[in-house]
Amino acid sequence: MMHAPVLDDAPDAALRRPSGSGLRFSLIHLSGRRRGETQFFQRAPVTFGSAPGVDVSFPANGECPVAPLQAEMFQANCEMRLRNCDPAARTLVNREAVEEIILRDRDVIQLGPNGPTLRFRIRPEEYTLCKQLKEILQDARDVASAGRADGRVTLRSFVGQLAFEIVRNATLATQVVVVGLLVMLIAAIGGLAYYNYLTQQAHERHIASLLRELELSRISLAELEQNSADERRRLTETLAIHETEEQRLMVMVEEQRKKGASSEALEALTLRLRTLEAERNNAELLITRFGPSTCLLYIAYGFVEKGDKEEAPHTLLEYTGTGFLIDAEGRIVTNRHLAEPWSMDPKGTAEMLQAGLEPRLVIMRAYFPGRAQAYDVTVLKLSEQGDVALAQLTPEPRGMTPVPLEKPSPQAVPGEAVVVVGYPSGLEGILARLDEHAATELLKGAERNLQKLMQDLADRGLVRPLTTQGHVSDAVPNRIIHDAQTTSGGSGSPIFNSQGELIAVHSSIMTRFGAVGSGVPAARVDELLHSDS
C-alpha cells in the first residue's frame, strides 16, 4: 500500500539539499539487540535485514525476527525514501505499515510488528559524525523508555544510556560541558546537605505547625450539620426530577394517543417510560439482594516519627468510604486510596515526609446494614494495576450474600444502564434521610467524635446504603466512566450492569467533566485476588 504523506514547507526544508550533495543522516537503535547504538551514514542507499552484507544487519535467529532483505533507504529528488523489500514482511513508519514513503527527520522505523525500532535523523553539516547535547539527551530518553514494556523511563537506564552516548557520540566541547555540570551538581548536593543540617530546628517547628493545621482541618459539628442539610436538599431534588420525568412521559403518551399519533411515536415514548420503570425496579432488586453486604467504612490515620513502631499519632485524620463482601470468609473489596488514605492528599503527605514523618493507618472498621456490630478491617492486598484493595473482616460475618465475581468478568458497554450501591455521600447521606430533629440529636450526642457517631447510627439500625443510577459513558481496559451520582463517600461502591453483574468498583469523581464518576473494571479485582503479592 503506497502512502503519500502531506509535506509541510518547514519539515521539507530540513530534508532538501542542493542537487549533487549527499544527504547525511543517522539511525538510532531504540530496541532490539543493538539497542542504544547510533549509526552514521554519508551516502544512500542503505539496506536493512538479516542477510550477510546488508548495511544495517540483525541476527537471523534473534528474538525480533527480521527478513533477509527487509527494507531499503534511498535518495530520490533530494528526498530520502524508505521502501519495503519483502512482500511477506511488514515495515512500519510511525506505527503505520508502508510500502514506500518519504522519511522526515525523527521518524521511527520498525522492521516488523514485533521487530526492532530505529529513529531516523538528518545530520547537520557541522555534526556529521557527532551529536549535539540536545540530541544526546533525547536519544538517551527514547532508548531508555523503549527498553521497558510500560514505556517508563527509569533513572538508572537513562543515566547509563546518557553516559554511553556522551563517551561514544559527543564532541569534545560537549564532554567538557557535561563534566563541568557534574562538578557543579556534586557541589550543589554538598551545599544542600549543609543547608539541611543548619535548618533542622526549622523543620521541627514546621512539624508542630502542620500538626496544628491538621487538628484545625477536622470536620466540625456545624460543618457536618450543614453538609447533611445540603445533601437532604439534593436528595429531595433528585427524587422530584425523577418523578417529574415519569409524569411528563405519561402525560405525553396520553396526549399523543388522543391526537392519533403514529405507532412509532407512541412506541418511542412508551419505551422511554418502561426504561425508567425498569431501571428503578432493577435498583430496588439490587439494594435488596446486595445492600446487606455493602458496608460503610470508617478510616483513621495519622503521622508518626519515621521508624518509630510504638508511637501513636498525635492527630487522627478521619474518612468514610464503601466496601462490599465477596465471599463467606469475610473478605471485602474497596479502593486502594481508602486502604492508604494518605494517598488522597499527596501534597500534604509530601510535606509530612519531608518533615521526617510517615503515615500510619490506625483504625479501619466496617458497619453493615441492620447490624450493630463493628467489624475490624485488615488490609490484605493492594493492587498495582488499579485503585482496588482486598481486606479481611474480623470476626467473619454470617448470614450475608456476597457479591459474586463472574468469570470472566463482564465488560462494560458504553450506553448501558448501571446501578451504584453504596454510601455516595458518606455520613451526610445517611443523616440527610433522617428528619432534622433526629439528625441534630445524633450529632450532638456524638460530641464531634466521628467513630461514636457511626456506632450510634449502627446501634439504631440507620446504616443503609443508597442506589444511584446512570449509564456508562466510556469504557477502556483500566477505567469506565459513568454518570451515576455519587461523591467521595461512595468510593469503593460496587457498580452493577442491568443484569445485576458486577462490572466495576467506583473510584473517583472527575469534577472538571460535570462530576461524572470513574470506576475500576471488575477484571482488576479478579487479578488482585489471584496475584501472589
Burial class (CB in 10 A: 0-12, 13-18, 19+), 158: middle
Amino acid at 161: Q
In this predicted structure, what is the pLDDT of residue 173?
66
Task: Pick the most confident of 249-263, 398-412, 504-518.
Answer: 398-412
Q: How far apart are CA 524 and CA 503, in angstroms?
A: 10
- Is pLDDT of 5 > 60? no
pLDDT at 141: 73
Least confident stretch, 256-260, 480-484, 507-511: 256-260
Q: What gap in Å lies between CA 337 and CA 520, rounded to an integer?
A: 12
Find out whether 415 and 479 touch, Cβ atoms under 8 Å.
no
- C-alpha 437/C-alpha 444 separation (Å) is 11
Question: 72 with 82: CB under 8 angstroms?
Answer: yes
Q: Cis omega before residue 346 (within 30°)?
A: no
CA nearest neighbour of 416 among 273, 278, 264: 278
Q: Distance between CA atoms of 341 and 108, rounded to whole angstroms?
A: 42
Q: Which of 19-33, 258-272, 385-399, 465-479 has the lowest mean pLDDT?
A: 258-272
Report pLDDT for 216. 43
DSSP string, 193-242: HHHHHHTHHHHHHHHHHHHHHHHHTSPPHHHHHHHHHHHHHHHHHHHHHH
Percent of the chain with pLDDT over 70: 70
**How sure is the predictor about 71, in pLDDT bands with cuts at 50, 70 and 90?**
very high
Q: Do residues 335 and 390 make contact, with C-beta atoms less than 8 angstroms apart?
A: no
Nearest residue to 161 (alpha-carbon basis) of 37, 58, 41: 37
pLDDT band at residue 333 using 50, 70 and 90 as cut-offs: very high
C-alpha cell read off for 62: 534473534
Q: Please determine, for residue 103, whether its predicted confidence score (pLDDT) is greater than 80.
A: yes
Amino acid in position 423: Y
Compute the half-sphere exposure of residue 51: CA atoms within 13 Å on the CB side of its CA.
12
Q: Write down the pLDDT at residue 395.
A: 93
Query: What is the spatial distance between Cα 318 and Cα 302, in angstroms, rounded to a whole number?
Result: 9
Q: Is the pTM of this model over 0.85?
A: no
147: closest CA among 109, 90, 92, 156? Answer: 156
412, 480 Cβ separation under 8 angstroms: yes
The answer on pLDDT for 89 being more than 60 is: yes
Residue 10 pLDDT class (50, 70, 90 cuts) = very low
pLDDT for the residue 513? 53
3 state DSSP class of 179:
helix
Residue 233 has what pLDDT?
Answer: 58
* Distances in whole angstroms, Cα of residue 260 to Cα of each of 251, 265, 273, 513: 14, 10, 19, 42
pLDDT at 501 over 70: yes
Once rounded to an integer, what is the mean pLDDT over residues 260-268? Answer: 68
Lowest mean pLDDT: which of 202-206, 246-250, 308-312, 443-447? 202-206
Query: What's the whole-number mean pLDDT along residues 199-219?
Result: 48
Task: Tally the C-alpha atoms within 13 A of residue 104's C-alpha that lie toward its C-beta.
Answer: 13
Give the mean model confidence (pLDDT) for residues 266-276: 62
What is the structure's pLDDT at 13?
34
